Amino acid sequence: MTSLRWKGIQPESLTIKEIKAKAFEMSEEKWWDCREEITQLEEEQEAAGIGEVVSLADRGASGPGGGGGGGGAARRR
């Protein structure tokens, strides 16, 4: 409700269906904004030569230091 008020919408004057529709529109807009930002970051990483993220757990004990006890940390190539 607060975020509706921040957008200049008075939820008290709307029906439940209208509030849900406005909230959905706002969440969809936020999703697309985040997706665009992620895409931009992925493109920057690709331009920097970072191709993929590899989990140390997937690599097993073959990584540097052996043992593979990376605690689930990821390393970029």
Q: Tell me: the pLDDT tens digits for 1-45?
A: 676 676 777 777 888 898 888 889 989 999 999 999 999 998 998
Alpha carbons 51 and 1: distance in angstroms, whole number: 41
Residue with tokens 């529109």: 25
DSSP code of 20? H
Q: pTM, whole model, 2 decimals?
A: 0.49
- For residue 15 the two structure tokens come to 């029906």
Tens of pLDDT, residues 58-73: 766 555 555 545 555 5
Q: Are 11 and 19 in contact (CB under 8 A)?
A: yes
